[in-house]
Amino acid sequence: MQMFPVIAKQWYRQEWVTVAALGLWGVLFLLFWLWGRLGLLIHPNYFPLAIISGFILLGIAILQARRLAKKQVMPLQHLSLLPPSWMSWLLVVTALIGLFITPRPFNSDTAVHRGLGDGLTVTRNKPQAFRANTPPEQRTLVDWVRTLDIYPEPDAYSGLPVNVEGFAVHPASFPDDTLTLARFVITCCAADAYPVGLAVKLPQPRSQYPADQWYRVKGRMITATLDGQRQLTIQAQEVIPIPQPDNPFAT
């Protein structure tokens, strides 16, 4: 190498850090896939892209490591706002954090913060596989919300059977016997996930149903006045605690 010894040593060390960063991110993508955690971060449509990217990053890291070990170096080009050494170490640190810290699903506080109470029945994307003629007892919580988005008159659904799942949210403005059953809908990644939900009139005070706990709610639809508005509400007949799904996001 036509370099001064000190400069060459610094550059060589930096290339190994870059290799470590690429390898760690490749391993991170693949382990999240194998551990079933990709659904906590991105829409299932993007799983193949993440998996392929993991193999590509790992392959580049292995190839570059072999060249560095044999002194057959091929510098990797960096395009970044920060110095390459800073970016490489930042990538290493964030990858290590991802390996040792499991992402947590959003909770009821996040749902309220992201506007759950402002518009329970408004969806932000056009569903691709949604069918309004699905039998009521087979509709998911998101199906019901999308049905209301098409025809928002709550009386039209009174008496229909309901069997839905979601996590409990306790809106401060609701009576003590009413909570919101909610889910987050993901369109691209967790950063753009938004909450939807339906009010549930409970057979007991809602203090018996902790916030963030997941439930399967069976009952029938009624119309109730909440926050001064007529809203489609589930008159619960059964409220059954269930484990949180492996992928808590709806699509």
165-218 confidence digits (pLDDT tens):
999 999 988 999 999 999 999 888 888 889 999 999 999 999 999 999 999 999
Give pLDDT, residue 246.
82
Q: So what's the pLDDT on residue 79?
A: 57
For the chain, the structural domain boundaries read 5-100, 108-250
105 confidence band (pLDDT: 50, 70, 90): confident
| Contact call for residues 103 and 40 (beta carbons, < 8 A) | yes
Return the CATH fold of 108-250.
OB fold (Dihydrolipoamide Acetyltransferase, E2P) (2.40.50)
Q: What is the separation of C-alpha 237 from the centre of its chain, rounded to a whole number of angstroms?
A: 30
**Is residue 4 predicted with pLDDT exceeding 50?**
no
Q: Is residue 110 scored above 60 in pLDDT?
A: yes
Full-model pTM:
0.75
Q: How far apart are CA 112 and CA 195, in angstroms?
A: 8
Closest CA to 196 of 235, 167, 224, 230: 167
When pLDDT is cut at 50, 70 and 90, the band that residue 234 belongs to is very high
User: Quick one: pLDDT at residue 1?
Assistant: 46
What per-residue confidence (pLDDT) applies to 127? 45
